[in-house]
Every structure is written in structure tokens, then in C-alpha cells.
Amino acid sequence: MTKTNHLLPKLALSGLMVAALAAIYLDAKITTTFTAKMYELPATVYARPLELFVGADISAADLAYELDLLGYRNVARPGRAGEVRQRGGRFDIFARGFTFADERESARSISLSIKGGRVVSLTGAGRDLGLTRLDPVTVGGIYPKHGGDRVLVRLQDVPENLSRALLAVEDRKFYRHRGFSFTGIMRAALSNFQSGRVVAGGSTITQQLVKNYYLTPERTLVRKVKEVLMAIMLELHFSKEQILESYINEVYLGQEGPRGIHGFALAARHYFDKPLDKLGLHQQALLVGMIKGPSLYNPLRNPQRAGKRRAVVLDVMVDQDIISAEHATVAKAMPLGLSQQRRLRNSYPGYLDLVRRQLRREYREEDLGRLGLRIFTALDPLVQNQLERSTAAVMDQLDSGTELQTATVVTRFDTGEVAAMVGGRRVRYAGFNRALNARRPAGSLLKPAVYLAALEQPRRYTLATLLEDSSVTVAGPDGQRWQPRNFDRQSHGMVPLHQALSKSYNLATARLGMELGLERVVDILHRLGIAGHIPQVPSLTLGAGEYSPLDMAAMYQTIAAGGFQMPLRSIRDIVDARDVPLKRYPLEYDRTVSLKAVHLLHYSLRGVVREGTGRGVYQYLDKDFQVAGKTGTTNNGRDSWFAGFSGDLLAVSWIGHDDNSGTGLTGSSGALKLWSHFMANASKRSLSYRMPDGMKTHWIENKSGKLTGEGCPDARMLPFITGSEPRHSTGCKPRGAGILDWFQSLFRGR
């Protein structure tokens, strides 16, 4: 025998061994992963549940908006879960049941009345109710890397007509073949040969499932052989019912943004806002028809083409004796029946980014995409809606184009929970999230830290301490000189500390920061909650460095909370797919700054909006509504900032260009307007005033910083830490009531 004759058997044997090993590998892959893939579920993210009780602060319009978000249907007589009737401020709601992290709320009928922006009555089953929670709005999901989303359904819960139509259209011999159809493959091969390109696949449902689960979409001979082999193995190990159920849950039926719509159950919700078992024949046929080309026959984009494809499916159902010709005629005449409800998937991309950031510290990405976790967050859809409306209104006013960008973070400063977030001018766009990732100089937003560092030393500094606002030059290690200037290009001589902050004088602030020492300024910024790098350079006193709106929200959160540093939170609870609680995220706080010093800072931040650079807020707010805040502007107007808080909400807003070019805006002409518009419409509670123990008020002559009497020239009332008040007096005795200023008004009625 020749060498070639000896070599052929060896090559054949080697080929068989390789094929056998490949078959063993593929078989093992199927048997070990198929069941898990059947039940892969993305993590679902929920907003806060709306709590209703007598006295709850909510308008009829806001409640109607939230019910609309939840998909409640307006009917004449609510008789099923998810239905509502509204008559002015009167609501009759058949609330859906829902399993929260702490307990199960059963579906039940409730009635409530709203007057003057408050719930005045709440009843159910003929008795008064203390508290009830509506099911929470679904914010979105944390998805696998392929971007798929699913709602699992059991085969026995799938409408029979839909299952039969699916088999009639996609795989009539499903219950007779063993994973592949030889005649189907040959028919597809002939069609492809005649056309000179790939126009048909000839795949069974089993093959399609294998391709979706395990293979790439490329059309090659090797992939086709692998698909057939794996389909045969799948049929050897699993029943037809398991395979069909998996296909019904996995089949691709469209796209919404970056997420794929997989499975008939989710598609029913997406296109019709109905459970799968509530679909009509015309809707079932439409979904089956979409399998051939989810993009081509997408009813939202191509309604006429989708309608024609639906008619084809109905004709097949008649041919296969699944339905009568009369039923098909009626179904063809029906409208597509698409949902008019807003689709909420991916509605809050900025907030979802924040949730992901927190989750990644504790969970692997792949677990978030398959374990079916349920994540309960602090997102408030009503606050978010107002933030989006304010963003659109003010940004359109400032710039009719789209180049000017913005970002805002809103927290509840008593808990540290992030209630709303906008990451860009296109508020629902899942792109670059400026609230988290745009790092810019903060300008005067950092100045309160400098003044707080001073006020922590009451023996040296009080609100009445005179600071020098005059030119200053600091030599750097590289020989360069830093020479800051005031915004008005003027020096103001000796000014009281509270006025230097409220008027945002750069020269006085820079001198104060250098006098304190940059180490102390960096330390106070870290204690206020800024975790990243802080440059220890003289210009830090005027906002140098790179900070995101979220960083600034963390800093002002600590200030608003009276010196308690609270990690900003988006997540409240996490439960697994079996509703077993996995983790709670309770309120955490640590006092890092003196309460008395922060109280003095609050006075100055109130002064900013009453008589300083932020007084424009009262073009939007009622004059009796108390807030505190600070403007911020960077060189050449590149960044416009405003940070501030009321009695319930804290917000930080930024406006600027992505390319760092000038905007022509200051903090007061840009971000302040957005912040004020939002607060005027979203905040429910004015900032209260309560002086801590160990503090007293005194009348001070503003220009000299000396004690004086009420009604004396240039007199104003200031708070002091007991023992830190000035020792010298003007000698002016009280002359009776003087001019009532904004600070004195806080004491009326006490």
C-alpha cells in the first residue's frame, strides 16, 4: 500500500475523533445550560411606591399622572385591577396587588378625595384606611449584555390559538421531526441556489431556539451544521413542550432603544399593554407574523405592512382549520389595536445609570442580567416629571438650539435618597450622563466650604468678622502668579464675612482660604462628602478641580442635613426572584461638621438668595417660601451652576457646553433659573428655622462688626455661637423697631 493509502484511514479516524469530541462538547453545553437559559431574567428596577393617606401632599393632576404611568385604564365602573374612575378630585381605584420588599399588598378597591393639594379622605371596603400603596412604576431593567428583555410565561398559559398559529406558520411538523427537517433544509437550499444568495433558512423552531441561545447570526455552512447537531441533541434531552415553551419566551419580536423585546408575553405588554392571555385573535396573529421580520413588520413603524402580514397568518390559520373563515374576516377588519399608553422601558436612563453604579459594587454584571432580582429605588416619578418639564422650559428659553447642555440631581436631604435626575438636555436619551460623568470646575459652589472651615473656629471667625476684599497675588512653584478678580472687577474693602459669601466676592474668599490654609479647605471638602481628588492649589478656594453634579449634590447634602454626611442612595431594597429579601439600604449618616457652624453657614446661604447673587430665585418663588442656595460661575462663563435646598428637596443644576466653550451665562442667569423653576413647582415645604442650643442672636452694626441696638444705623440681627459675639459696642442704644429684614421675619410667630 502507498503512503497515501495508509494516511487516509488515519485522517478519517482523526476526523471522527474530532467530530466525536465536538459532539460531546456541544451535548454537555446544552445539558448544563439549557434549563438555566430558560429561566434567565433581567433585574427589574422600580420607582418608589406612591403612598396614599389622609393628609398626603398630592394634587389630583399628579395622582392622575402617576396612574397613567402605571397603565391604569379609565372606565365608568372600576371592577378589575388596573382600572380607575376620576371625577375631579374624586378617584375610585381598583388597585393592583403587588409584592413589596416588606409585605404583600392585595388587589383591592379604594376611594379617595383630594382638595387643596391634599388627600382629605381614603376608604376601602366601607371603612377608613390608614395607608395604602399603589404598585410602583417600572423604571426599567438591568439587562444581559445582548440587551434582551423577557417576561416568562408557562406553556399552559399561552392562548391555544396563538400556539397553533405559531406552529402552522413556523414549523408544521414540530411534533414529528427530531430537531430538523430534511425537506425544509433541501427546500431552502434550492431557493438559495436559484436566487444566488441566502433567502431562506429552512430552520425548525428547535433550530431557531438553538441559534438564539447559543449561536451567532452569521449564515455559514459550519454554523448550519452546528445548529442541526445541537437541535438534535436538544430534542434528545428535553421534551417538545419544554422546547416550545422556551421558544415562546425567547423569540425576538422587536427593539425598543437598546433593548430587545423577547418572548410573546413581553411583546403583548409592549405593543398592546395587555397580558398575553387577554389578546384578541387579531393581535395574536400580528405577533406571530412579526417573527419573520420584527423590524420589517413592526406595527409601530410599518402599520400597513404589519397589517398585510397579519392577514397572511390568518389565512394560514384558516387553511390549517385553526379558525373559521368568518373569524379570519372579522380579525382582518380589526384595527391593529396598539397601545396608546406611554412605553416606560428605558424612560429614565440617567437614573438607571446611578442604580447600576451602586449595584456594581456588590453584584456581578452577569448576575444582574439573569437572576431576576427586583430592585426598589427612591426615584419619584412626580418629581422626575417636574424636573424634566422645568429642564425643557428653561433650556428652550436660554437656547433654542441643542448645543447648550444641562444636568440636575435632586435629593431628599433628610434621607440622602436621590429622587430625580436628568443627565442631559434630551432627558430620556440613554447617552452620556452628565449628572454622573461630566467633571467640571465648580466655581463659587465650593466657596461655602471655605467659609464653613472658618466658622468652625468661632474664636477667630463669626458672621460679623470683617474680611479684606482687595487684590491678592499668590506666586506658584513654577513662577506663575495667580491673581483672581471679582466678577465686577472692583475691590470692596473690608466686608463682613456673611456678605462676602452672599455677594460671592472672589478676593475676600481667596484671602480667607489662604489664611486658613489649603489643607484645611481640602479637609472640609472631604468631610462634606467629596470623595475624589481635590487639587491643593490656591485657585481651589474659587472652585478649581473637576466635579460632577453628583459630587456637588453630595457636598450640599451634608450642608443641608446640618453637618451629617449621608452617602447618596438610589436603592432602598433588593429581593430575589422568589421575593426573598437580599439586602436593605437603610439611612446611614455620620456627623462630620459642627452643627453650630453649619447653622451659621445656612444663614449666609439664605442671604445669597435674599440679598446676594441668588436673589433671582424670588422671581419664581413666593417671597415667604424659605430656601438657601449658592450660585457658581467658572471662567469665561463656561459653567453655570446653582445648588440649593428647601424644606424637603435639594437640587444641583449645571448648564454648559460639552466642548467647554463659553456660554455667556452666569450662575444666576442660567442654572439658577432652572433650579428655581423646578423648586417653585416641585417643593412642598419651606425651609424651617430652628437655632441649635448654644447659640444666640445679637444686633450688629454691619460695617464695623460691633454690637449695636435694634433700630440703630446699619443694624442687623445675626446668629452667633454663644461666647463668640463681638466684645466691642457702638454704644447705640435700642431705638425701637427698625426695618424688618428677611432674617427677623423667620422669628415671627415664635
Which residues carry out catalysis?
170, 444
247 bridge partner residues: none
| Spatial contact of 674 and 395, defined as CB atoms under 8 Å apart | yes
Q: CB within 8 A of 480, min separation 6: which ones?
A: none
CA distance 694 to 719: 11
Q: ∠547-621-652 over CA atoms, to 5°? A: 10
590 bridge partner residues: 565
| Spatial contact of 30 and 233, defined as CB atoms under 8 Å apart | yes
| Spatial contact of 691 and 716, defined as CB atoms under 8 Å apart | no
CA distance 69 to 72: 8
CA distance 525 to 453: 9
Where do runs of H (alpha helix) occur along 115-220?
Answer: 160-170, 182-195, 205-214
Q: What is the largest CA-CA distance in the chain?
A: 129
466 bridge partner residues: 496
Contacts 24+ apart (CB under 8 A), 208-212: 208/170, 208/247, 208/251, 209/234, 209/243, 209/246, 209/247, 209/250, 210/234, 212/250, 212/251, 212/252
Question: 227-253 burial, b for 16+ CB within 10 Å, e for fewer?
Answer: bbbbbbbbbeebeeeebbbbbbbbbbb
Could you tell me which of 554, 548, 547 has the C-alpha nearest to residue 528?
Answer: 554
> Cell numbers of 1, please?
500500500
Q: What is the DSSP string of 386-453?
A: HHHHHHHHHHHHH-SSS-SEEEEEEEETTTTEEEEEE-SSSTT--S--HHHH--B--GGGGHHHHHHH
| Spatial contact of 267 and 254, defined as CB atoms under 8 Å apart | yes
273 bridge partner residues: none
